[in-house]
Structures are given as C-alpha cells and as structure tokens.
C-alpha cells in the first residue's frame, strides 16, 4: 500500500492531499466570464449558450445540442422526449450513479435492472437480449412486459467512468424490440466506440458538466440528437414552454426551468477549447497506472474495453475481494490520497429494492471490488 501511495504522490508531484478529480482552468475561462458579465446577459439567453451548443454538437458529431443546468435535467428531458410517461418501464443498469434512476423516477416510470459486463462495466447486451426474450413481447409496435403488463418505453445504458459499453449491439436490440435508446453519456465526453462518439448511437444522448467531470462549468448538462423536432422540443421544455413573444407571457404546456445560464456556458466554451489537451493528459496518466499496477497479481487496472477509445475520466482498479477493497480505501484515504468505492447498486437502495431485475452477479462482484483512484489531468 505504501508503494501505491508513493507512486500516486510522485505522479501528481505532491505529498499534500490528492483529490479524486479536480477541474483545470488554464484557458480563456476568466476572459469569457468577464465578456459575459460585461454583456449583462448572464442568465439563460446569451451568445455563449449558442456558441457552446454549436461547438459541442460539432465535437461529438450530432446535428443538435441543447444545454441544460445539469446532467440529471438533461437525462430527465431526454426521457420525456423518448415518450416515457407515468407507469412506463425503463431498462437500465444497477451499477450507475443515482441520477440515472432519479431521472427515470421523475417521469413516473419504473427501472428494470439489467446486469453489466465485467469488461466495460456497462450494460450487458447478452443479459438485455435474454431478458427481453424471456419476459417481453412486441404488440402494436410497443414492447410490453408480460410480467407487469407495462410498456417498456426506453433503455438507458451508461458509459461507466468513460468506458463505452457495447452500445452498437444494444442499439440493434432496442430497434428490434421497439424501445427508444437514450444514452447516459454523463461521464464519457471524449470517448468513442468504433470511431463514433458515445451519446450519438441512440435517438438522444445526455452529458454532464458537474464539477468533477472532464470539462466543467460547476454544473451543467447537454442533450444531443440528430432529430430537429426533438431538439426544438427540448429547448421548449427546458425554457418553461414559453411561446415566443416580445412582451406576453404565454406557456403552452407544463415544462421546466432547465436552460443553462450564459455564465456557465462561458466557462464551458473555454473548457471545450482545452478538451483535447485534457484527454491526452488523462490517457497518459492511465497508461502510467496500467504499467504500475501490472506488477500486482491481486490488483487489476481497469482498461478501455475492446473497440473503445476511452476518455479515462475516472481511473479504477479491481481488488481481489471486498476485504482488500476496504483495506485499500482505508490506507489511501488515511495517507492523503482520495479514493472511492463504486456506487452502491441501485437495486439495493430502498427506493428501487422491489424493481424487476436480471441475475446481477457481475454488478455485485464489481460493486464489492472496484475502487476509483486520483484521475485529475496533470
């Protein structure tokens, strides 16, 4: 353990506290913020919001991008755009951050948990296909769960720590079963699968710019899609559904105050300019970690899965068992190196304990053994 702490200290060139992931502001952040303030357009209307949406869409290869206040709101709106309604069901994975299931719940829908793969830590297409074949039927163009008699409206896989799941295969399965694919790409900006950016395989994708993400505005999120009608509806839903008019206040549906402020967008424009540098640094860090941990038989560094070009947002290691995981966590944190276990499985939380699920052996095994280690760009 001492050798591991010393290596991380040498990597980050400090013996002070080393956080798990902190932002880097080395570009035009202050310049653009000052420009934003001087313009007086600091709320949800402004040139930086428009520029960020245009630049982000171009980067990931989508036709449209709609900026929101955070990743959870982006995912919530994405599910509404997918037609998810009260009493519907949504397929997702148990090994994810709570935001995924919160967004499903905001729609009044229920999650169904599909096991993950050991390699990618994302939804297993094999388990997804097996669940659908054993439990579902397509009737009148919709997928119906024979156990609950409810409609399965959407599927939300998540690209864990920036490592893509087998999203192309999942997309094919969803198409066959008339299920809308909504990608939770909150952690995977800069990650590609088979040379296509994550978040663009489904009908809709959602990203996050929380303070610990690869680029950040303190908060923030974005919805991407190639569907013009959905993009327009996303903007309408995120701006309280206000009908455009010079002075009248007319709103034509129940909607949300989810649009990103221009101040946040100013930060993100500057951060996006540096994304390629951040990615290069993080991949170099991952390579050093991989080489270092190769000397250990009982610690496995989590690498990008086959076919994936990962952003290595959060680096992770896989310990032998839960006991060794806890020892690793205790020693590193006691010695000023911040490490964290992976999330508690969603099906083990009180809110989702009765949710339908597949066999979750892979997710359980990973939850007991995965630890995240410092991953800030150098």
Q: How confident is the model at residue 174 (pLDDT cuts 50, 70, 90)?
A: very high
Residue 351: per-residue pLDDT = 98
Quick: pLDDT tens for 200-231.
999 999 999 999 999 999 999 999 999 999 99
In which residue are the tokens 């997928």 written?
143
Q: Is the pTM of this model over 0.95?
A: yes
Sketch out the chain's domains with CATH numbers.
2-22+275-344 (no CATH), 29-274 (3.40.640.10)
Checking if the pLDDT of 44 tops 90, the result is no
């Amino acid at each position: 353990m001492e050798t591991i702490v010393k290596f991380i200290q040498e990597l980050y060139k400090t013996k002070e506290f080393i956080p798990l992931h902190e932002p880097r502001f080395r570009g035009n952040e202050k310049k653009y913020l000052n420009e934003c303030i001087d313009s007086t357009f600091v709320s949800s209307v402004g040139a930086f919001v428009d520029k960020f949406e245009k630049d982000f869409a171009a980067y990931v290869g989508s036709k449209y991008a709609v900026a929101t206040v955070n990743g959870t709101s982006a995912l919530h709106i994405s599910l509404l755009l997918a037609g998810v309604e009260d009493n519907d069901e949504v397929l997702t994975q148990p090994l994810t951050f709570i935001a995924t299931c919160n967004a499903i719940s905001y729609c009044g829908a229920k999650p169904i948990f599909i096991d993950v793969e050991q390699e990618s830590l994302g939804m297993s297409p094999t388990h997804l296909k097996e669940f659908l074949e054993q439990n579902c039927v397509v009737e009148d163009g919709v997928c119906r769960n024979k156990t609950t008699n409810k409609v399965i409206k959407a599927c939300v896989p998540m690209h864990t720590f920036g490592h893509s799941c087998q999203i192309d295969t999942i997309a094919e399965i969803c198409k066959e079963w008339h299920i809308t694919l909504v990608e939770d790409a909150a952690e995977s900006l800069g990650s590609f699968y088979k040379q296509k950016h994550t978040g663009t395989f489904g009908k809709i994708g959602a990203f996050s710019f929380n303070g610990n993400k690869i680029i950040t505005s303190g908060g923030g999120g974005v919805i991407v899609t190639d569907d013009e009608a959905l993009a327009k509806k996303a903007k309408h839903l995120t701006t309280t559904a206000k009908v455009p008019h010079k002075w009248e206040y007319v709103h034509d549906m129940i909607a949300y105050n989810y649009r990103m402020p221009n101040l946040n967008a100013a930060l993100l424009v500057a951060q996006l300019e540096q994304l390629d540098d951040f990615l290069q640094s993080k991949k170099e860090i991952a390579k050093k970690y991989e080489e270092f941990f190769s000397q250990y038989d009982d610690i496995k560094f989590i690498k990008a899965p086959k076919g994936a070009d990962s952003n290595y947002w959060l680096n992770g290691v896989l310990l032998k068992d839960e006991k060794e995981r806890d020892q690793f966590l205790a020693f590193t944190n006691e010695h000023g190196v911040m490490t964290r276990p992976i999330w508690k499985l969603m099906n083990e939380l009180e809110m989702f304990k009765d949710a339908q699920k597949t066999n979750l052996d892979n997710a359980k095994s990973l939850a007991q053994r995965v630890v995240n280690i410092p991953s800030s760009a150098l």
